[in-house]
Structure 1
């Protein structure tokens, strides 16, 4: 790697004028670290349209506040992420940019969605991105502005499309891609998608609709042909920073070529991490659509008799926010309390998901409250379900696994 000086970007006269105008227009929200290179990310993402770039940046800063992005270092994510979220970094490219490796087939999207809330999955993704952003910023002090961008290697070996036919999984992927596109513009230096099977092109054709032209121009897709993708990677990354498993020189201290000390390879999440359960990958019957009229409420009641039960919700509204809360009543003593305080949530901007652990012999009331709105009715799409008790969940999960294994065997027989 060659060290460099953080040079001023070379711009045309009209671009210099746009940058000067943009800096003035957003001066009230800028921080000391927001230099010209930072501002140019947003200008380039909006083709140097100052008004559109300002709107994008201001909306992103509101998004950061909503998600508490600057405080995520203090957040303790569910342990399932640390053990089963596949990603890692093995070093830097020849210009000092961070190299991120993602063994994509190691993502058990079904298991993740049943082991953590959707919000926590997104929050953890933001946390990882922010960690790499900070590392890249430090690299740029030594190697120049290009080091603020990432080089990403997606290994699609053994990728199975079936998981993403499950609607919540597909929605999660799209939400993450949109989140990235709206809030992290111009940070991708190069992306190598390697070992891509034929079925991958179908999924990528859907995802790329949510990516801008700049990002798409940085993506290069390779099939199972190491003779093609390995030379391309070596043009930017020295062999000492690439795992031996992929044809580089890097190993763990014990010689493991997969570099398990640097990369989490994910894998199937054990059922003991599950907090919720559904009957099959294609089950969407729990979702309902209704309209809550102005000045009114929707209340849903759930009586819980067993321990080891979870109440799970997932909802979104169109155009406007709504109040949401969960109340609990001890049916024996009459004691009442708020499990989730009733407050307005921006469910028109992103889906609201979550869960609580229920107590036996309690009645839970889920409330969607539009009583504060005198003029607007709210269209609501929601799923609120109570899981089976843990011992029944274990039996059901075993049946699901057996069904999936049978399907896999059938597919193998058909392919022979």
Structure 2
């Protein structure tokens, strides 16, 4: 099924109904099923979700380091940050992917679980007309304490609000302050990422980077309602299990489990990576590496059992590499 109105599977129809009910209090008469399906049909086209998550964690860790540095510099504890989220020129087209929403909520959960109370205030400015729909979706993933620290503004009123808390000399002119860039740009792009449209050339270049083009790639067909496992023997603790895989089209669930070596009096099995559907694994090669703490069988699982009619073609490269310290010794020779 294509995922468009008039061509929905039973599962897609059920997902649309659940979504419609969830956002019923913020939708408008013009928000037809065509409109709602945009949110459910889209996907992250240029950067893998895991890369975005890692970048977000890098930013959060950077905030923590800067808080420590500022505390040391000023001789007092500085524990919170102020965030400005500017939706100027932001369109629904940039956000109507349900996977984008899932990614956003996943990152919010990581923030709430691991970086509590570092937020002083978050200002959402130039909020577009569809923002209530977005807020309805992400609000359940925030604690009440965090929600109380979020100020939402349309096109008016936010400059005065920013200046109540922020030094105008530390705020770009575009946001009501005095700062300009080295070339006089009031938006200070040397400090603040301007965002914008992703060039089509990025997508075209990405389409050329198929795992099947890499040396050593192996193809495996996984039938509909089927799963396939690839056992890999690791003989020493510290060895690295490296994997890359990509489907020709469609998603696939992936997991990794450990099984104790054969011959032990008691055999055991445990998941190291729980099975999870990867919606973008046809767009980007999924890559990972694990330093194996103990010898045994490491089983890579590829699950297509949820697909009733569509088989998947999988390209993969799996290697067992020496422990990191041995690689360092070899590279230094």
- TM-score, structure 2 normalization: 0.54
- The CA distance in 1 between the partners of 2:73 and 2:95, in whole Å, is 41
Of 98, 101, 106, 1:167 maps to 98
1:164 positional shift = 2.8
- Matched-pair contact (CA < 8 Å) for 1:316–1:347: no
Of 111, 121, 125, 2:56 maps to 125
Number of residue pairs matched by the alignment: 217
Match of 1:15 in 2: none
| Aligned pairs (5 A) from 1:389-408 | none
- The CA distance in 1 between the partners of 2:47 and 2:149, in whole Å, is 32
Of 138, 143, 146, 1:215 maps to 146
**Alignment CA distance shift 1:269-1:141 (3 Å):** same
The answer on 1:347 being equivalent to 2:278 is no
- The CA distance in 2 between the partners of 1:385 and 1:161, in whole Å, is 33
- The CA distance in 1 between the partners of 2:311 and 2:118, in whole Å, is 35
The answer on 1:238 being equivalent to 2:167 is yes
**Alignment CA distance shift 1:276-1:208 (3 Å):** farther
1:181 positional shift = 1.7
| Aligned pairs (5 A) from 1:88-167 | 113-143=44-74, 147-167=78-98
Deviations 1:22-49 (A, max 9, x none): xxxxxxxxxxxxxxxxxxxxxxxxxxxx
**Alignment CA distance shift 1:369-1:199 (3 Å):** closer
- Matched-pair contact (CA < 8 Å) for 2:124–2:153: yes
**Alignment CA distance shift 1:136-1:353 (3 Å):** farther
Match of 1:197 in 2: 128
- The CA distance in 2 between the partners of 1:379 and 1:188, in whole Å, is 42
| Aligned pairs (5 A) from 1:17-416 | 113-143=44-74, 147-225=78-156, 228-274=157-203, 275-276=206-207, 290=225, 297=228, 315-316=252-253, 321-323=255-257, 345-348=272-275, 355-356=284-285, 369=301
Match of 2:5 in 1: none
- Matched-pair contact (CA < 8 Å) for 1:161–1:203: no
**Alignment CA distance shift 1:349-1:237 (3 Å):** farther
1:378 positional shift = 10
SS of 1:208 mapped into structure 2: helix
- The CA distance in 2 between the partners of 1:223 and 1:111, in whole Å, is 26
- The CA distance in 2 between the partners of 1:258 and 1:141, in whole Å, is 30
1:126 positional shift = 0.9
Match of 1:361 in 2: none
**Alignment CA distance shift 1:211-1:152 (3 Å):** same
Match of 2:21 in 1: none
Deviations 1:150-187 (A, max 9, x none): 10011112232233332222221222222222221111
- The CA distance in 2 between the partners of 1:111 and 1:257, in whole Å, is 34
Deviations 1:172-225 (A, max 9, x none): 122222222222111111111111122101111110110111111110111111
SS of 1:250 mapped into structure 2: coil
5+ residue gaps in structure 1?
A: 1-109, 278-287, 300-308, 325-342, 358-366, 371-376, 388-416
- The CA distance in 2 between the partners of 1:368 and 1:344, in whole Å, is 10
SS of 1:196 mapped into structure 2: coil
1:140 positional shift = 2.0
Deviations 1:72-99 (A, max 9, x none): xxxxxxxxxxxxxxxxxxxxxxxxxxxx
- Matched-pair contact (CA < 8 Å) for 1:322–1:344: yes
